[in-house]
Amino acid sequence: MLLRRPDWEKHLCAYLDANAARPFEYGQFDCCLFAAGAVDAMCGTDFRARWAGQYTTAAGALRVMRRAGWDSPGGPFADALGGAIAPLQAMRGDVVSDGENIGLRWGAGALFLTDDGLTEMAAAVIVRGWRVPHG
């Protein structure tokens, strides 16, 4: 089971700072890879190998997800973190979804990856989340 390190905030902030302006790119730094990288920063465990670098388009991402048995971009996080939580239960550092994209609960809202890099959106867009447990 993945658990946050005691100093998870330091590692997560460094990850977010290093990738703040990095644009969306399928298979290299897309919404799932961004969120999985955040989980890696918090927990010290990288579970992206099943899909990182294996696609370059939305259709390719969908094929990789289906081959892995996932029906949505939230699939890898449900496998790694457990069942979904209600939107209002998501806390800082938890993985969240707006129904199409995967992001990270942060501040008063959530961070999602766009063509311009990390973009903060209102918490109202969150439709589900996955808890990144504390150790």
Three-class SS state of 79: helix
Task: Provide the residue ranges of all domains of the chain, joining segments of one domain with +.
Answer: 8-130
N-term to C-term CA, the chain? 10
The DSSP secondary structure of 13-67, one letter per residue, reads HHHHHHHTTPPPBTTTB-HHHHHHHHHHHHHS---GGGTTTS-SSHHHHHHHHHH
What is the value of pTM for the model shown? 0.95
Class of domain 8-130: alpha beta
Tell whether the model's pLDDT for residue 1 goes beyond 80: no
pLDDT in tens, 15-72: 999 999 999 999 999 999 999 999 999 999 998 888 889 999 999 999 999 999 999 9
Query: pLDDT tens across 69-104, in order?
Result: 999 999 999 999 998 999 999 999 999 999 999 999
Residue 109 CA to residue 33 CA, distance in Å, equals 20
